[in-house]
Amino acid sequence: MRILVVEDERGLAEALRRGLGAEGHWVDLAHDGQQGLAMARTAGPYDAVVLDVMLPGLTGYEICARLRADGDPVPVLLLTALDGEYDEAEGLDAGADDYLTKPFSFVVLAARLRALRRRAAAGGPAPAAVLQAGDLVLDKAARRCRRGDREIELTARELGVLACLMAAPGAAVAKRDILDEVWDSPAGIDPNIVEVYVSSLRKKVDAPFGRRSIRTVHGLGYRLAPDDA
């Protein structure tokens, strides 16, 4: 894989270059936000971009949001020194595909990058039929979503979570089942992480349309009420 790592801690950046290089990847480094954005735009294409969040110049969130604004679908993994729902939600809003909280294990980083590439290579979930629930339509193959005639931008993981709910409209789907379906390495991940994505989905597919279609099923997970207006 060709990977761009944007990280201002030189020691960590060099360690990532050595480690990923030893696994056969080509790694470019940038040490500030402006340089990182410029390289992502002109030195690629990259198979993945690893962005530290706290950077001089532009933050990792800003770099990611600008790449998405360019229409660049490159898989982005954010490295954050903070954890908690707020930061991940911000990363999702910026269009990041995954995140890792520092300090992280190199083995986990390498596995996450492989998973991002698999997803990108597969063009997302299997090209099944277009899913429909009321006026909500999800084209899994094209990774596009719309409600009525308004297109909704979703990240890969939001799309996966929504597809789980839309595959069985009206039926309760357990958080654990969503985790197993959407995450590449679900072992050891708290199923409550799904809440973060559901919260972000509600802000995109429900709130702007005055809907409450994604319902909480207490103690279990969620269900989609497609015709809720």
Residue 98 burial (C-beta neighbours within 10 Å; 0-12, 13-18, 19+): buried
Query: Residues 4, 35, 40, 52: which binds Ca ion (CB under 5 A)?
Result: 52
Of 58 and 182, nearer to Ca ion (C-beta) is 58
Residue placing its CB nearer to Ca ion in the complex, 29 or 165: 29
Q: At closest approach, how far in Å is the CB of 91 from Ca ion?
A: 15
Here the tokens at position 120 are 């990108």
Q: Which of 165, 107, 188, 116 is nearest to 177 (CA)?
A: 165
What residues between 146 and 205 interact with Ca ion by CB under 5 A? Answer: none
Q: Strands of 136-139's sheet, edge to edge?
A: 131-133, 136-139, 144-147, 150-152
Taking Cα atoms as reference points, which of 7, 48, 57 lies closest to residue 25?
A: 48
> Which of 104, 199 has the CB closer to Ca ion?
104
Q: How far is the CB of 100 from Ca ion (least distance, A)?
A: 13
8 is a site residue for Ca ion (CB under 5 A): yes
Give the total of residues touching Ca ion (CB under 5 A): 3
Distance CA 176, CA 96 (A): 22
Give the other-Cβ count within 10 Å of 185's Cβ. 11
Q: Minimum distance between the CB of residue 147 and Ca ion, rounded to whole angstroms? A: 38
Q: Among 14, 19, 44, 54, which residue sits at the site for Ca ion (rule: CB under 5 A)?
A: 54
Query: Is 52 or 88 the residue whose CB approaches Ca ion more closely?
Result: 52
Calpha distance 36→167 (Å, rounded): 39
Q: Does 62 bind Ca ion (CB under 5 A)?
A: no
Closest CB to Ca ion among residues 80, 155: 80
Binding site for Ca ion (CB under 5 A): 8, 52, 54
